[in-house]
Amino acid sequence: MTYEESAKQCIEEWIDKTSWVQDTAHWSELGMHRADVIKQRIDQKDVKIEEYKEALGNLLSTWDSICSAYGWDRNHMEAAKTARSLLKELNNES
């Protein structure tokens, strides 16, 4: 395979594998390179994940305070336990 054929194959594969970007483009992304759109979308998702983790942490603190205030035992804290597990999993993935 020549260099030109290899380069053409790579370009065609890139276009094929990233066509979803063009198909789902927002008006604010018009004129942007596909790679830039992909990076921007990933960055936006990362910010959202951090916001969700912070919100979940705040929720857990509030839940702990409520449980303590009412003297609830562990049976009442199952939701918090599940949320803590999720938060731990999210923190390990980032």
**Contact present, 83 and 59 (Cβ < 8 Å):** yes
**Tens-binned pLDDT, residue by residue, of the chain (94 aa):** 899 999 999 999 999 999 999 899 999 999 999 999 999 999 999 999 999 999 988 988 888 788 888 777 656 667 777 777 877 887 886 5
Where does residue 3 fall: left (phi above 0), alpha (psi -120 to 50 degrees), or beta otherwise?
Answer: alpha
Rounded to whole angstroms, how far apart are CA atoms 79 and 70?
Answer: 16
First and final CA of the chain: distance in angstroms?
40
